Structure 1
């Protein structure tokens, strides 16, 4: 597949992501916003769906236009706006993943602490959004419109992406790296200036700071991935321990000790032989004990149901996290020059913004029921008209 075919593939792929993601995430927002009894997981899902909806509606089309223009925005404002949206949106989604992992950890492993409430969940989202915005602004200020020197023998419609991870200002075109600070003694016949290219510059921050920031940015992603893996590992361990305890209780209830049985029958005999007043006085005791034991059983059953509901939610959000990691990892490795650049594989990370509604549909029964109800109302409304 040549470069032109690769770019056409990316245009088609991202157009599909944009349409499906916009529709899917709008459905998620509609259903979860209408929920009356919102939980912390619902709040985080809403934040994630909002970020995905904005990405599919605004950022993906902006990215298609940018690729078509070969990063030649022509204006600093458009260049920096693009970098802000690209480098602010992805970190926000990653930070939400970490927050979801913490929420599920405390909900399953420490349910009585009530560490993350609905108010705190909203506050956490606001803080994460501000932090992601700061990261986006920092990266946007490291980019601008520059004159990029490129090899005239290369194709005029090269696919380029900027990279600040090396010690030199670089723009990668068609998997070939051209330094922006090429020697000026090259002959005019061998040099072609591409004006209006959006690429790293050092007008605001010096080269050392840009290099340091890019390394910190990469380490931040690594730390977030580690946090997510550790937290879900602890959740799995807690689920395994609780299931083992439950199995042990079931085994012990199936084989009661023989010393308890005679005592129970003896107690029944004594109660039958009691005189009238005594029996009347104690007649309510079995009933009271029965009611209290029933209440305990109902409470235990509710706790059990809540625990397994939390497990199902955690499993669904874990799959969401795995899809994000798998989709985003190749692009992260390419920006750090650990693997060779491929434009089609690089931009597949946008599939994550489209996949979440599909995951909810398969793994969330209440979401499926709400979708069916909404479809039924739409069909009934269309029949009336």
Structure 2
């Protein structure tokens, strides 16, 4: 497949992602923002939807423009803004996934701790957003517009900053790097890079860039490991509770010592007094109702955890090929590389399939729209 055909496919694919992601995430923002009882999971979903909406309506079109121009942005500010935008959104989404995993862990495994409340969740989101912005700012400082490159500069760029930059952003245009590698010592080919947004060591030296790119790349891997450990603990907790519930059910159906059970019940009746005999059915009903409410809350948390786990899995595996290509662990393919933007489109589809209330809200919204039309 020629480079022009591959580029056309990528541009068309990104255009579809932009339109679908903007519409889908706008619906998620509208529906979840109108809910009366905002929970921590709803807050994180709103944050994800906001991030995906900004990515779909701003970052993807910006990326389409940059790819169409072959990174010839001409202006320093346009270059740095681009690198900032494509760098900060991915780690921010990864951090949100980690926060969601911790939230589901505490809700299911330690429901009485109330470790993550709404105010704390807002602080967590703000802190992670600021850290992601810091990563974006540092990356933008590692890039600049190329004024002129001679043969010496080309070799140093390829052997130093360029290779590191692939791991920093996972979105470097491979055609630029390959063009430089194919023409060492060719001043004409080097001058053709003028005006391009390209790795630069004007602000940070190569040693700092190498350290930073390892930290940036490690954020994805660390998030991946934390999320899988937490969801593994959640699964273990659910499995233990189901086993305990099954044992209790078997014990109630087949008591090991009916005589002891009857005797204990008789002693309890004597201690409580005859006046409580009439209240015993009401107390049993109250206990059953309380247990029923707790089980409903637990099952609701488990369903939410399952839905958000699928969201996390889609994110991790959508971004994995680009991450592997950036580390030269997988052969580069431009179409597969930019498929990671599909994550920004997938979330509304996941909510629609796995969240009954979201589906009902969507149906009501469609009915209102059709009534107005």
| Residue of structure 2 in register with 1:278 after alignment | none
Check if 1:176 corresponds to 2:175. Answer: no
Measure, in 1, the Cα distance between the counterparts of 2:139 and 2:77: 13
Measure, in 2, the Cα distance between the counterparts of 1:233 and 1:335: 28
Measure, in 2, the Cα distance between the counterparts of 1:244 and 1:73: 61
Measure, in 2, the Cα distance between the counterparts of 1:82 and 1:88: 10
| Residue of structure 1 in register with 2:363 after alignment | 372
| Residue of structure 1 in register with 2:204 after alignment | 205
Measure, in 1, the Cα distance between the counterparts of 2:334 and 2:147: 23
| Residue of structure 2 in register with 1:159 after alignment | none
SS of 1:74's partner is: coil
Q: Deviations over 1:308-334 (max 9, x none)?
A: 110000000000000001100011111
| Residue of structure 2 in register with 1:334 after alignment | 325
Q: Deviations over 1:213-241 (max 9, x none)?
A: 00111112111110011001000100110
Query: Among 342, 346, 371, which residue is 1:351 paired with?
Result: 342
Larger helix proportion of the pair = 2
Quote how far apart the aligned CAs of 1:282 are. Answer: 5.5
Gap regions ≥5 residues in structure 2 = 152-161
SS of 1:244's partner is: helix
Measure, in 2, the Cα distance between the counterparts of 1:7 and 1:103: 40
Equivalent pair of 1:147/1:195 in contact (CA under 8 Å): yes
Measure, in 2, the Cα distance between the counterparts of 1:148 and 1:105: 54
Larger strand proportion of the pair = 1
Equivalent pair of 1:51/1:93 in contact (CA under 8 Å): yes
Quote how far apart the aligned CAs of 1:14 are. Answer: 0.5
SS of 2:193's partner is: strand
Q: Deviations over 1:169-220 (max 9, x none)?
A: x97317836359x86xx46567553211101101110111011100111112
Q: Deviations over 1:58-101 (max 9, x none)?
A: 00000000000001100110000000000011111111001000
Quote how far apart the aligned CAs of 1:379 are. Answer: 1.9
Measure, in 2, the Cα distance between the counterparts of 1:189 and 1:295: 84
Equivalent pair of 1:43/1:121 in contact (CA under 8 Å): yes
| Residue of structure 2 in register with 1:70 after alignment | 70
TM-score normalised according to structure 2 size: 0.89
Equivalent pair of 1:175/1:341 in contact (CA under 8 Å): no
Measure, in 1, the Cα distance between the counterparts of 2:114 and 2:165: 41
| Residue of structure 2 in register with 1:156 after alignment | none
Quote how far apart the aligned CAs of 1:292 are. Answer: 2.1
Shift in CA distance, 291/188, structure 1 to aligned 2, threshold 3 Å: closer
Measure, in 2, the Cα distance between the counterparts of 1:146 and 1:241: 60
| Residue of structure 2 in register with 1:295 after alignment | 286
After the TM superposition, which of the residue ranges 76-85 and 337-346 deviates more from structure 2? 337-346
SS of 1:35's partner is: coil
| Residue of structure 2 in register with 1:15 after alignment | 15
| Residue of structure 1 in register with 2:246 after alignment | 247
Check if 1:311 corresponds to 2:310. Answer: no
| Residue of structure 1 in register with 2:102 after alignment | 102
Measure, in 2, the Cα distance between the counterparts of 1:141 and 1:323: 31
Quote how far apart the aligned CAs of 1:147 are. Answer: 4.6
Measure, in 2, the Cα distance between the counterparts of 1:5 and 1:46: 37
Shift in CA distance, 174/81, structure 1 to aligned 2, threshold 3 Å: closer
Equivalent pair of 2:150/2:187 in contact (CA under 8 Å): no
Shift in CA distance, 88/295, structure 1 to aligned 2, threshold 3 Å: same
Check if 1:323 corresponds to 2:322. Answer: no
| Residue of structure 2 in register with 1:223 after alignment | 222
Shift in CA distance, 297/204, structure 1 to aligned 2, threshold 3 Å: same
State the Cα RMSD in Å: 2.6
SS of 2:192's partner is: strand
Equivalent pair of 1:29/1:49 in contact (CA under 8 Å): yes
Which of the pair has more CA radius of gyration? 1
SS of 1:199's partner is: strand
Equivalent pair of 1:149/1:178 in contact (CA under 8 Å): no
Q: Deviations over 1:16-72 (max 9, x none)?
A: 100010000000000000000111000000000000000000000000000000011
